[in-house]
Amino acid sequence: MLDERKTRKQPHILTFEEQAKLLAVATPHLRCLIALLVDTGLRVKCEAMKLTWKDVHFEKAQIVVHESKTMAGRRVVPLSEFCRAELLRWRGLTGPEFSAFVFPNPSNPSKPLLSIRKTWSTALRNAELNPFPIYSLRATFASRLSAAGVPDGFVSQMLGHAGGLLQTYSKAVDEFRRDAIRKLEKFGQSNISRHTVTEPAPTNRPN
């Protein structure tokens, strides 16, 4: 039988130049979501879009994932300085007093945002990038961790994957997770495009 993995379409790995273009044209909530996905590797729908403000611990610079598709997905994810800054920026526009969710449904703030597809497509078009699904940003996180020197088994655990020797014999301690993010930041700092991201235009707080 054919190996399905060989015929599966490979995810698009976002370059830092493409990231800068996307962030420059993204709406405030999409900008924050992009930063979150590329620097944490959260699953888009079941983790990132259901994230609540109480799960974001700014003082500890970490996110606690309480809900995921697997038990292994329930994990603590350290925040890079870039991601933390974007979350703080977004909280200044719409915080816990507006909705418990980081990405609320604008028509019903008591529920999370259900879809980002249209906003994502618009951002890709405005950034003059070829279409690719937003969940490729999770693969981008994994690729950047590997490029930064983080072992593959540990990358898998950072993504919340089940199985593997690392999860079979031990739980990664917080310092190992933070070291992985430090390597990710150092890797990003070597790419000049990351330091030339256009600041978003001032935006009024959602009604």
Q: Which of 18, 63, 66 lies closest to 41 in space, CA to CA?
A: 63
Share in percent of the chain as helix, strand, coil (round to 5): 50, 10, 40
pLDDT of residue 190: 75
Q: Look at the block and give the residue holding tokens 């990710």.
A: 184
Domain 12-195 has CATH 1.10.443.10: yes
Residues β-bridged to residue 62: 57, 78
CA-CA distances (angstroms) from residue 14 to 34, 108, 156, 161, 169? 11, 32, 19, 21, 33
d(CA 139, CA 126): 22
- Provide the phi-psi class of 195: left if phi over 0, else alpha when psi is between -120 and 50, else beta: alpha
pLDDT of residue 4: 41
d(CA 164, CA 56): 27
Q: DSSP for 37-91?
A: HHHH---IIIIITT-BGGGEETTTTEEE----SSGGG--EEEPPHHHHHHHHHHH
The domain ranges of the chain are 12-195
Q: Which of 136, 102, 110 lies closest to 15 in space, CA to CA?
A: 136
Q: Look at the block and give the residue holding tokens 């590997």.
A: 146
Q: Look at the block and give the residue holding tokens 């390597």.
A: 183
d(CA 136, CA 185): 19
Q: Which two tokens stand for residue 139?
A: 């693969």
pLDDT of residue 129: 97
pLDDT of residue 203: 54
Q: Look at the block and give the residue holding tokens 């370059």.
A: 15
Q: Which two tokens stand for residue 162?
A: 């089940």
pLDDT digits (tens, 9 = 90+) for 77-131: 999 999 999 999 999 999 899 999 999 999 999 999 999 999 999 999 999 999 9
Question: Which stretches in the chain have pLDDT values below 50?
Answer: 1-5, 7, 164-170, 172, 192-195, 201-202, 204-207
Q: What is the C-alpha end-to-end distance of the chain, expressed in Å?
A: 55
